[in-house]
Amino acid sequence: MHPLEFIVTLKLITMTKADLVAKISDKLGIEKGDVQATVETFMEEVKTSLESGDNVYLRGFGSFIIKTRAEKTGRNISKNTTIKIPAHNIPAFKPAKVFLEGVKSNVEVN
């Protein structure tokens, strides 16, 4: 198989926030505007919690956590100089074991 054929045959499916809102609205019979507000509020609360240093744990789904990256030395290749990248926090998602197992077992082989 030619490498380009492989790329073309990949099945990439994405779900946007709008798709998620529509799906929840259809499943529960709730107005899309109400679902949209709920999803937006949920995301805002997760963001606010992480910004204030609190992790968010959702049993059976996963955890939104704060990871600390250590200080390291980086290189600016164009100027051939080194720079110090200070230690910093980043948001991360750690899926629950049951969630991870479900995703791992749902692999399509062509």
Q: What is the pLDDT of residues 85-107, one digit of tens each?
A: 999 999 999 999 999 998 888 76
The pTM score is: 0.73
pLDDT tens digits for 49-75? 999 999 999 999 999 999 999 999 999
Which three-class secondary structure state does DSSP give residue 78?
coil
Asked if residue 12 has pLDDT above 60, the reply is yes
- Residue with the bigger pLDDT between 23 and 2: it is 23
**What is the distance between the alpha carbons of residues 88 and 68, in angstroms, rounded to a whole number?**
6
Give the chain's mean pLDDT.
88
What end-to-end distance do the CA atoms of the chain give, in Å? Answer: 13
Q: Provide the sign of the torsion angle of the four alpha carbons 82, 88, 69, 103, taken in this order.
A: negative
**What is the distance between the alpha carbons of residues 16 and 44, in angstroms, rounded to a whole number?**
17
